[in-house]
């Protein structure tokens, strides 16, 4: 079965909207990265494991955007600048 082609033409605009929300579910992680549901679930569980290893409490069924940004090596500033370039 062929893989689904993900549209990444407006990825930073989507990321910016999700950053403003502050937290992400698994389906939103798939939009943010972009990836499929299996990879998004792996990322979700890995980040939640990191939070538990630090001795912090996890939110119910979500992760904080800051954690995903750090996981991906991105900053909010980089995403904002890229989103501005996409819009213009």
| 2-51 per-position pLDDT tens digit | 666 766 678 899 999 999 999 999 999 999 999 889 999 999 999 999 99
Question: pTM for the whole thing?
Answer: 0.86
Give, in order, the Cα–Cα distances in Å from 68 to each of 1, 87, 88.
30, 23, 26
d(CA 4, CA 65): 25
Q: How many Cβ atoms sit within 10 Å of the Cβ of residue 33? A: 18
Q: For residue 59, is it left (φ>0), alpha (ψ between -120 and 50) or beta?
A: beta
d(CA 18, CA 22): 7
pLDDT for the residue 87: 79
């Amino acid at each position: 079965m062929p893989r689904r082609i993900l549209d990444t033409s407006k990825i930073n605009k989507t990321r910016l909207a999700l950053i403003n929300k502050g937290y992400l579910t698994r389906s939103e992680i798939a939009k943010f990265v972009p990836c499929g549901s299996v990879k998004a679930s792996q990322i979700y569980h890995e980040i939640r494991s990191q939070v538990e290893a630090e001795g912090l409490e996890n939110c119910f069924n979500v992760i904080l955007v800051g954690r995903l940004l750090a996981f991906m090596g991105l900053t909010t500033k980089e995403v904002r600048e890229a989103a501005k370039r996409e819009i213009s």
